[in-house]
Structure 1
């Protein structure tokens, strides 16, 4: 998707939002009619595989490193060539400098996005691991409590005999 197309879509969405006086929900009717209460199983379960998060994070980190190592090398040589061409009076010098500046801006933006994805996946994985540990601790304490109530002296329903 080109940048101009993205900007046009955003502007169209803003116009639709400002031009509408009716309430709009950001949800598609599931075909059940008025969109009343849904069953909990209709939402699905939270499923996040740590190996999937790890792969995404590693890929973003790898791309960041490759961009750092390989894509940045064009900037100093382009700037040097632009300065040399400008000194010699060629109109191409300022144009090349402009291209070099735009390249560096776009590269930084892409590298920031890769770093953000990598960091987000690392944090998400850590949070899910912490949540999983917390849930296991809570469930095991409930199971221990339940086990304490199951230790009965007699058969269920019978009173304990006096000794």
Structure 2
């Protein structure tokens, strides 16, 4: 894409935006009327469905396998044809070899992306499961600790008699 074309596209997008009668909201009202963030309870829970992660990872893995099996088929025959054309003195041989090399590079990049997505979904699924277990353990520990604070030895506001009377030497 040429620079002039890019500038023209930006100008067209700006013109469409200025002529638009639509409203665009950049921030939601948090309930206070000032557009600030809402209370944490209003956001809901963060949920990651393991089934959803599994489907995405599986689709990426299947695409990777299909690319490996089907998209690489043309490379050996293209390379062979390029070599044959070059031996016969045709400049088309070098061009075909260049196209074949670029195809391999792009295919490798796409396959790497598919493998990355598949692996990331598998790791994400495991990490979220581990995080969920950790949070549940911590929350249950807090509940037990909190319950311990509710057990009182004496009446509220009175000094605990187990510590005895304060020493008069310390007070003087």
Using structure 2 for the length normalisation, give the TM-score. 0.64
Cα separation, 1, equivalents of 2:37 and 2:123: 33
Unaligned runs of 5+ in 1: 13-26, 158-163
The CA deviation at 1:118 is: 0.8
Secondary structure of 2:139's partner? Answer: helix
User: What is the count of residue pairs matched by the alignment?
Assistant: 136
Structure showing greater relative contact order (alpha-carbon pairs closer than 8 Å, 6 or more residues apart): 1
Aligned position for 2:135 = 135
TM-align CA RMSD: 3.3
The CA deviation at 1:53 is: 0.6
Aligned position for 1:86 = 86
Larger Rg: 2
Q: 1:129 to 1:93 in 2, by over 3 A?
A: same
Unaligned runs of 5+ in 2: 11-24, 157-172
Q: 1:85 to 1:58 in 2, by over 3 A?
A: same
Secondary structure of 1:38's partner? Answer: coil
Please say if 1:101 is aligned against 2:81: no
Q: Which residues in structure 2 correspond to 1:1-163 (within 5 Å)?
A: 4=1, 8=6, 28-30=26-28, 35-145=35-145
